[in-house]
């Protein structure tokens, strides 16, 4: 069930903390199958917050980042809606859900209620909060919205995105504190040297092992047609290097329909 209202597309600070509102800015709240990662195929309730501290040019949640839309929902209201869907697994996603302090309260309440939670994050904001699976998607240089790739066509976010897209200490914190997966969106073979270098840097920084099977390669693409161009290449790259390949099951099943 999408829940949306227009907000200032330039005002992430307003999305993050509206002094007139309580709860969280929710772009969508719906029931579907988890489409990505180690739990692909698991029936799940998705809570998608609005607002992000980055701007990947290929963002598949455009209305949480480039032009954020949302309705404000209180924590009790969110929990009631989650319960109505009947799934044991809840995915908190965005945008970047951990930019919101109230996400901590929501995750604590979900934990108290016995839900299994996945948090989908870009790995730049670490919080001390109960998470069953941290699905961490570090952003590569190929994600930067250069003037040629900026959806708005002006390249205004390029420098800010590039400066903030990686935080090695935060990444190590996720690896150390939670069951995790490092999920990389791959645009082509040229991304692999950067992925391998970053994985090694995380291994050197974190105090726990990062196994090859914890590294997931996912093809970039928001439609079946786009995935047709990338999935085989990315699967072969994963097989060659001992990483795990993850599909985008929701795209395969429902293409780019919202609420899936």
Summarize pLDDT for 37-95 with one digit per residue, the tens. 999 999 999 999 999 999 999 998 999 999 999 999 999 999 999 999 999 999 999 99
At residue 7 the predicted structure's pLDDT band, cuts being 50, 70 and 90, is very low
Q: Is the pTM of this model over 0.85?
A: yes
State residue 12's pLDDT score: 58
Domain that holds residue 225: 12-254
Q: Do strands 116-121 and 89-93 pair parallel, antiparallel, or not at all (unpaired)? A: parallel
State residue 51's pLDDT score: 97
In the structure, how many helices (H) and strands (E) does the chain have? 8, 9
Question: Is the residue at 2 inside a domain?
Answer: no
Dihedral sign computed on CA atoms, order 233, 239, 244, 250: positive
Question: Is the residue at 1 inside a domain?
Answer: no
Contacts of 215 (CB under 8 A, 6+ apart): 181, 182, 184, 195, 199, 243, 244
At residue 13 the predicted structure's pLDDT band, cuts being 50, 70 and 90, is very low
User: Does residue 254 carry a pLDDT above 50?
Assistant: yes
Instruction: Provide the domain count of the chain.
Output: 1
Rounded to whole angstroms, the Cα distance separating 156 from 133 reads 33
User: Mean pLDDT score of the chain, rounded to an integer?
Assistant: 91
Rounded to whole angstroms, the Cα distance separating 48 from 120 reads 10
Contact predicate 230/246, CB 8 Å: no
Question: Is the residue at 260 inside a domain?
Answer: no
User: Does an H or E element contain 226, and which?
Assistant: helix 224-241
Question: Is the residue at 57 inside a domain?
Answer: yes
Q: What is the CATH number of the domain that holds 239?
A: 3.20.20.70
């Amino acid at each position: 069930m999408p829940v949306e209202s227009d907000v200032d597309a330039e005002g992430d600070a307003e999305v993050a903390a509206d002094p007139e509102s309580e709860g969280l800015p929710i772009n969508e709240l719906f029931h579907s199958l988890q489409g990505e990662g180690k739990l692909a195929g698991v029936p799940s309730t998705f809570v998608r917050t609005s607002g992000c501290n980055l701007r990947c040019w290929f963002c598949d949640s455009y209305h949480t980042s480039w032009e954020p839309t949302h309705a404000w929902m209180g924590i009790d209201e969110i929990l009631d809606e989650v319960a109505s869907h009947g799934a044991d697994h809840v995915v908190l996603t965005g945008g970047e859900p951990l930019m919101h302090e109230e996400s901590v309260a929501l995750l604590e309440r979900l934990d108290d209620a016995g839900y299994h939670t996945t948090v989908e994050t870009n790995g730049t904001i670490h919080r001390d909060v109960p998470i069953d699976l941290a699905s961490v998607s570090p952003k590569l240089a190929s994600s930067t919205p250069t003037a040629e790739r900026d959806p708005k066509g002006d390249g205004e976010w390029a420098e800010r995105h590039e400066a903030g897209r990686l935080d090695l200490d935060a990444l190590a914190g996720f690896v150390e504190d939670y069951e995790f997966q490092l999920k990389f969106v791959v645009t082509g073979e040229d991304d692999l040297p950067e992925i391998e270098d970053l994985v090694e840097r995380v291994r050197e920084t974190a105090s726990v092992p990062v196994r090859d099977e914890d590294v997931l390669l996912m093809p970039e693409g928001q439609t079946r047609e786009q995935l047709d161009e990338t999935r085989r290449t990315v699967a072969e790259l994963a097989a060659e290097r001992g990483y795990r390949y993850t599909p985008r099951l929701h795209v395969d099943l429902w293409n780019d329909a919202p609420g899936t």
